[in-house]
């Protein structure tokens, strides 16, 4: 299961970030759009790692207290919603 951090950006868009995949970040105008976009980004990220023969991390990043928020699960993903 991949952990997703979802938080509002300064420009009004929602930012979605996969904590266990460095630099795997996406955004959307709504929370739902950001979630759909990050799912696609994760799939593409993992596909590229596999094509290149690189290791795929299953580690979950432990978040600092700064990221406290609403936590929920959806399929293979868990989300942390920061307000």
23-78 confidence digits (pLDDT tens):
899 999 998 999 899 989 999 999 998 898 887 776 544 444 444 445 545 555 55
The pLDDT, as a whole number, for residue 4 is 85
Note the pLDDT tens digit of each residue in 5-28. 888 899 999 999 988 888 899 999
Identify whether the C-beta of residue 2 lies closer than 8 Å to the C-beta of residue 78: yes
Euclidean distance between CA atoms 33 and 56, whole angstroms: 25
CATH number of the structural domain 2-81: 3.30.160.250
The pLDDT, as a whole number, for residue 63 is 44
CB count in 10 Å sphere of residue 60: 12
């Amino acid at each position: 299961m991949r952990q997703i951090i979802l938080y509002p950006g300064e420009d009004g868009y929602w930012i979605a970030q996969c904590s266990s995949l460095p630099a795997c970040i996406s955004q959307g105008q709504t929370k739902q759009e950001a979630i759909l976009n990050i799912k696609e980004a994760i799939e593409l990220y993992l596909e590229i790692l596999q094509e290149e023969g690189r290791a795929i991390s299953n580690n979950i990043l432990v978040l600092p207290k700064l990221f406290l928020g609403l936590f929920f699960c959806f399929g293979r993903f868990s989300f942390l919603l920061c307000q």
